[in-house]
Structure 1
Amino acid sequence: MFKAIFTNSFGILFSRILGFIRDLLTASTLGASIYSDIFFIAFKLPNLFRRIFAEGAFTQVFIPAFARASKKAVFSANIFLIFLSIILIITLLVNLLPGIFTKAIAVGFSDETIEIASPYVAINFWYLPFIFAMTFLSGMLQYKNHFATTAFATALLNISLIVALLLAQEENDAIIVYYMSFGVVIGGLLQLLVHILAIQKMGLMKIAFGGFKYLKVKSKLIQKETSKFKKEFFPAMWGNSTAQVSAFLDTFLASFLLTGSISYLYYANRIFQLPLALFAIATSIALFPKVSRYLKNNDETHALANLKKAFWFLAYLLTFSTLGGIILSREITWLLFEHGAFDAHDTQNTSQVLMMYLIGLIPFGLQKLLVLWLYAKQMQLSAAKIATASLITYTAFALALISPMGVSGLALASTVGGVVSFILTVRVFGLKNFFDIIRSKNLIYLLISSTVFIFLLLVFKNFIQAYI
């Protein structure tokens, strides 16, 4: 298990380092301006659909369904065609009516800004079909306990964007965003190509693509399995997409605030997502196939034992990340982004937003781990109900806090929604199971080590204040 976690973590770390280089170049080139806001809007829309259709929900339903399928090749081919068809239709609609979709995500933008942003939204959306096809192949690789390709492939998007930014350095802001938009699409294509190569190397070509040949003849044999997949997918899709819907609402509400607010949310969230992806998501991805197999064989004892190890591993890492991030939020933002067009005022605003996000890092991260239990036990409907309660909480707090706190209030509302999600997930997971996990000497060790860590951070902060 830990080998898979470290593989995922290292791959994500490599990608995130490149991502920060990309963000540093973006901040230095565009700053927190109308064009940076426009690019983040253009990239957010395909990312929203990617996370709804292509990542969490699809993988969490596909892996257990693929494991149960009697005709794996035919089943996977059928599922692939259904989802790719839906995604291509959405992509074509966005390209035919980009202004409508842009307006939907950034209502606060003026008509002139919507007109400028629309072509970028249309280009960026072609990233979605490539990334769905990649996720489909990734699910098969994860089923075979191969995580490295997917973990490292995410770096290709960042490399593509870095190259685009370097090539466009001498251009004006409008042309730079065009370069970045095409860089997004090329990055998606590269990610798909490396997954095809990995499928070939693992000897999975027959399962991945052989089913298309027999789909017409054998489609009746997998009708029941396909129906069950669809029934499980839609609650899972909603359960996984509420975080993205809240991010969508973040952007929607931030578009009514001062210019740069969308960028402050983006830059702060990029820092917040590093420990979340590096530790919580990497651990969840590695643990899910193993827990699914144990529960499929009615072996809850071993499933819980693996979950307990991962829980404490994650609790330590997320606690230290939270403390370090909050205490050094300004210093981290200054180090990463305060260059070129990104000034001290932008650093101050971004660091305030970052602190609000980081308050929720521990509940967000641990919830991602515990919710695996629900998906592995095919409790997608329960997960969807939890996600709905979290989204309603976020929306209520976002509307209440945006006026007194501005863009920081949106980040704090997201944190409150994450706390509610964690509490409700623990309730469904089982209070007995949860207390069996936390009833451990690890809790005392965590409190002691956290106290020492806070002291060291404050000493370090005072030392580096002289250089900022």
Structure 2
Amino acid sequence: MTSNTPPNDTSAAPGAPLRRGLMRSGLVVSSMTMLSRVMGLIRDVVVATLLGAGNGADAFFVAFKIPNFLRRLFAEGAFNQAFVPVLSEYSTQRSKQEIRELLNAVAGSLTALLALITALAMLCAPWLIWVFAPGFGSDPAKHALTADMLRLTFPYLLLISLTAFSGSVLNTWNRFAVPAFTPVLLNLSLIGAALFLMPLMDEPAMALAWGVLIAGAAQLIFQVPFLMRLGLMPTPWPNFAHEGVKRILKLMGPALFGVSVSQINLLLDTVLASLLVAGSVSWLYYSDRLVELPLGVFGVAIATVILPALSKRHAEQSKAHFAAMLDWAIRLVLLLGLPAALALAVLAEPLLITLFHYGAMTDHDIQMAAMSLRAYAFGLVAFMLIKVLAPGFFARQDTKTPVKVGIIAMVANMVFNLMLIWPLAHAGLALATALSAFLNAGMLGVLLYRQGVLIFQPGWGRYAVQLLGGSGLMCVALYMVSPEWHAWLAFSLWQRVAWVAGLVGLGGGIYVAWLTALGLRPRHFKMQS
């Protein structure tokens, strides 16, 4: 699975990024993302302790989810998937002056478009709440509070989209650490707002909305010096007629839907959960946060490094290496995602108790959140596969095929929602999202295979035995050693942390020992970008 391409290929245009090992780049992104996710969990512990799962928490989660959803849809979703392949092509085939002109035009056009959207959203905040959380309409105070919060949180979309633009440039030039570290600033801002602003406000949850706004500005400012160091700091000037901007917009249209189906499904969960009993939105949020940890650390990290690498290989018409990269990404997703999903399912209550069972969070909240956590965990591998299979289309500037797949998955998700919400309530919504993710990932994989883009490399039979055996042994060990979940309620904080650390170490040790005994080594995952 290694490449014979020289690591320092200088045949590209001036200013083109040097090539590095994908595994090394993935580890950089993964480690930074792990730091961000850990800080995010600390943030959620603070929020859960101070707000619990009441009306204030529900209002903030909806007010933050709307711009956050659009961020993933536009900035890290459609824009990133459309921008990176075009930028990679420029970095491979164009002069540095042409690269700068592209960056100036894209930065200016993106700013102008999102500034208009942000202004309209702030004016129409009450109506947006009716769209995204119609169940809040039965409680005028809750609806008004959410609308007030949304006016503070929505500008985050503009700021974080420009941050994502900067991050895409840095990633294309193989500067992965800075964009991967940047989300830490969001978590630090929200923790600071919860601890220091919340006591000063009549409505404590409003402090978190201010924290989101502050975080957006901090994340954008943080990346500016690194762009300047590369000589790629843009001078924003709107130019929708620029050839590169027109191509990006053309690719973004279908990518808006194709890359973010899982996010749309999660948003639909929120809409329907707002119609259920109070706390349903928060239960889904807390369980989703735990699933986001391995998804971000592993799935998003792999997708982050593979998109620019695949885009460069497509520009060079290196089809064999392109196929090998996709196979490498799928293997790595299964290596890390399968045990993570099973561990989340086995240790659902202990993990939720350790992280969130403080202050206003009740035993009932833990039980409810555990139900949706297991459902989300069931779909974790599918969520991760979507992250690495979709770039197989976007790197080839094919955004139409994922749209067709996304529409089918979206319709299926709604059908699953209607089938499962009545018997399983909020957990049914999570399970519906998981099932539609498997449908999405399966269709993407089959289409890539039929197009001859995904070619499975030798050794998959042995690899399946290695992964399934190791994951199975790990699950048995965790189930037998972990105390019954009610016992965790009596543990102190440090006892809970010690138990979780010990169980993670035990499970990870058994898994790695099994893989090592069956001959799997780190060198088997080397891949040149």
What range is the shorter-chain TM-score in? over 0.9
Shift of 1:299: 1.0
Q: CA deviation at 1:191?
A: 0.5
Instruction: Choose the corresponding residue for 2:113, options 86, 99, 107.
Output: 86
Matched, 1:446 2:467: yes
Aligned to 2:32: 11
Change (3 A) 1:464 1:188: same
TM-score (norm 1): 0.93
SS of residue paired to 1:102: helix
Give the aligned residue type for 1:74: E
What residue identity is the alignment partner of 1:33?
A: G
What is residue 513 of structure 2 aligned with on the other side? none
1:269 to partner: Cα distance:
0.3
Choose the corresponding residue for 2:59, options 26, 38, 46.
38
Corresponding position: 1:399 with 2:428: no
Partner of 2:43: 22
Q: Once structures 1 and 2 are overlaid, which stretch shifts more, 455-464 or 264-273?
A: 455-464
Q: What is residue 438 of structure 2 aligned with on the other side?
A: 419
Given residue 128 of structure 2, which amino acid in structure 1 is its aligned partner?
Answer: F
Equivalent position to 2:400, from 381, 385, 390: 381
Q: Secondary structure at the residue paired with 2:194?
A: helix
Counterparts of residues 155-170 of structure 1 (less than 5 Å): 155-170=184-199
SS at 2:361's partner residue? coil
Among candidates 157, 171, 183, match of residue 142 of structure 1: 171
SS in 1 for 2:135: coil
Q: Which residue of 1 aligns with 2:128?
A: 101
1:204 aligns with 2:232: yes
Deviation, structure 1 residue 436: 4.0
Q: How does 1:270-419 map to 2 (within 5 A)?
A: 270-419=289-438
- Summarize deviations over 1:400-433 as a string: whole Å, max 9, x none: 2111110000000000110100111011111573
Matches within 5 A, 1:185-200: 185-200=213-228
Q: Is the 8 A contact 1:164 1:183 kept in 2?
A: yes
Q: CA deviation at 1:273?
A: 0.8
The equivalent of 1:118 in structure 2 is: 147
Unpaired runs of 5+ in structure 1?
none
CA contact (8 A) 1:168 1:175 kept: no
- 1:203-261 CA deviation, whole Å, 9 max, x = no partner? 322xx22x74xx78xx86x33x3332221111112112322222221111011100000
SS at match of 1:175: coil
CA distance in 2, matches of 1:81, 1:59: 16
SS of the residue corresponding to residue 134 of structure 2 reads coil
The Cα shift of 1:313 comes to 2.1
Residues 1:52 and 2:81 aligned together: no
Distance change >3 Å, CA 292–CA 331, structure 1 → 2: same
Q: Deviations for 1:19-59, whole angstroms, at most 9, x for unmatched residues? A: 11110011011101011000001101111211122112211
- Matches of 1:261 and 1:409 in 2, distance apart? 11
Residue in 2 aligned with 1:235? Answer: 254
> One-letter code of the match for 1:226?
V
Range 368-377 or range 429-438, more displaced: 429-438
Letter in 2 for 1:18: M
Secondary structure at the aligned position of 1:430 is classed as helix
SS at match of 2:404: helix
For residue 364 of structure 1, give the secondary structure of its aligned residue in structure 2.
Answer: helix
Per residue, is there more helix in 1 or in 2?
A: 1
User: How many residue pairs get matched?
Assistant: 458
C-alpha distance in 2, partners of 1:78/1:313? 36
The alpha carbon displacement at 1:304 in A equals 2.2
Instruction: Determine the C-alpha separation between the residues in 1 that align with 2:407 and 2:377.
Output: 22
Match for 1:459 among 470, 480, 484? 480
Contact 1:29 1:169 (8 Å CA) reproduced: no
Structure 2 equivalent of residue 177 of structure 1: 205
Moved more, 94-103 or 248-257: 94-103
RMSD (CA atoms): 1.9
- Contact 1:51–1:240 under 8 Å retained in 2: no
The worse-fitting range, judged by mean Cα deviation, of 304-313 and 47-56 is 304-313
Q: Which amino acid in the other structure matches residue 178 of structure 2?
A: T
1:205-284 to 2 correspondences below 5 Å: 205=233, 208-209=234-235, 212=237, 222-223=242-243, 225-284=244-303
Cα separation, 2, equivalents of 1:79 and 1:45? 24
CA distance in 2, matches of 1:463, 1:258: 28
- Displacement of 1:363 after TM fit? 1.6
3-state SS of paired residue (2:178): helix
Name the SS of the counterpart of 1:170 in structure 2: helix
Contact 1:308–1:437 under 8 Å retained in 2: no
Q: CA deviation at 1:107?
A: 0.5
Q: Distance in 1 between matches of 2:403 and 2:197?
A: 43
Contact 1:366/1:422 (CA < 8 Å) preserved in 2? yes
Q: In 2, Cα distance between the equivalents of 1:53 and 1:234?
A: 10
C-alpha distance in 2 between matches for 1:123 and 1:439: 50
Q: Does 1:75 align with 2:94?
A: no
Cα separation, partners in 2 of 1:340 and 1:362, compared to 1, 3 Å: same
Q: How far apart in 2 are the matches of 1:390 and 1:98?
A: 29
Is the contact made by 1:426 and 1:434 (CA closer than 8 Å) also made in structure 2?
Answer: no
1:169/1:127 CA distance change after superposition, 3 Å: closer
SS in 2 for 1:133: helix
